[in-house]
Amino acid sequence: MAPSRRSDGLLARVNFPLYTLQMITSRHVLVAGGGGSSKTGVANGFEIFELSHDSERFIAEEIIRHETGPSVVMNCSAVNLNKHLYLVAGQETHCQLYNVNLKLVNASELRRGSVKADSVNNFLRKRRNTHSKDREEDASKKDSNSNHCSEKRINFEIRAADSIQTDFGNEAVQRVVRISHNGKLMATGGTDGHIRVWQFPQLLKKFDIAGHSKELDDLDFSPNDEFLVSIAKDGFGIIWSTRNGKQVVKLVCQPPNGVKYIYKRSRFGRVEEDKDACRLFTLANPLGRSGKQKGLIQSWKPNDGTLIKSITIDESLSALAVRDDGRFIAVGTMFSGSVSIYVAFSLQRVLNIEGAHSMFITGLEFLPVSGDGPAITSRSEAAVVSISVDNRVCIHSLPHRRSCPAWVAMILIVFVLFCTFTLCSYLGI
């Protein structure tokens, strides 16, 4: 039975609803959202936090806040190419490209505010601690230590670049954007059902695939960037070739009890035992959200659309993430705001955080174990960041699971065999 407990919890709270997040380095998470174009006084934009672990808990410090005027940020994607970070954000019908320069500065100067944020826009703010007052006092005490004065930290300079229209429906809205792992392609989807693939970062259109009859819900590139999966409200999940834009396979949901299901999220993941292989994970919810129907988590072979494994969840699902090494997946729920972590190959649940948020989960991202810069050292086997429209950024960690070493297992086996042989001899069997 998977453990159910409150783990880590609140990292930060912002003053606008959150819809999307990205790990932009091994230690920095970007969260984005907003209140839309109505005059509610709720901001639109994104914030970047630096994450760390103090041997007891995870800590988040705000690095930069960038407001986007009347345009809410509903989706985003990022890629680091030759130490230059590109960020794309869905803002209504358009996709906005940002150039993000990473700069190393002294941590003490950042904390004292002597290094000013780049004046690219009027909304960049200096670093501040997002935890309680006593933690801020602890941080200020650490600043007095000379070791921290020479510590280098990353600061960000953000510059808005090109903006392109990516959806042309009657009520056009970009619903999803994804940059390929090699940074050469960008895929967008919206309400018109088209999958548009662009050369990146030039933003020149490569393919325009009329792949679905209804709006897109999700897109993802395979780890080797050979495949692109799309799912939409027409109920279809389709894998495409990124070389020619042709359909490779159409997924057949195979729901239980003949109930019709609609795909909600899709993510590719690596296979630990075979670096050249990958799996595809999908979430599906019953059509009409009828009472006791259960959500589905499924894993597939992307080459031929073979269903590997399928499990049911007690409620509808809203968010999905796969760790960069492919070992774990995380799932967020629609109604209870819960977050769970599963072993990817078996879909066995190993952590369940009930009521992690007060509303439905809008985004999940694992802390990376590989990639740019050193990973965060903690006492956990895995950790996932979650966001919701409740304005909160939370983190949930999976403690290292206890396992029996091989040599102990061998001793136990020999001991059992010895006891069995002794008992049989005693009974004369």
Q: What is the pLDDT of residues 337-378, one digit of tens each?
A: 999 999 999 999 999 999 999 999 999 999 999 876 778 888
User: Does the pLDDT of residue 4 top 60, yes or no?
Assistant: no
Question: How do strand 75-81 and strand 84-91 relate by DSSP bridges?
Answer: antiparallel
Residue 109 reports pLDDT greater than 70: no
Closest residue by Cα to residue 125 from 156, 165, 146, 88: 156
Instruction: Give me 169's structure tokens.
Output: 């429906």
Q: pLDDT tens across 205-218, in order?
A: 999 999 999 999 99
302, 292, 315: which is closest to 266 by C-alpha? 302
Which neighbouring-strand residues pair with 102? Answer: 156
- Using an 8 Å Cβ cutoff, are 64 and 25 in contact? no
Judged against a pLDDT cut of 50, whether residue 380 lies above it is answered with yes
CATH superfamily of 9-427: YVTN repeat-like/Quinoprotein amine dehydrogenase (2.130.10.10)
Q: What is the pTM of this model?
A: 0.84
- The answer to whether 93 touches 100, Cβ cutoff 8 Å, is no
pLDDT given at position 253: 76
Omega before 17 cis (within 30°)?
no
316: phi then psi, degrees, rounded to nearest 5: -70, 150
Quote the pLDDT of residue 367: 96
Beta-carbon count within 10 A of 256 CB: 12
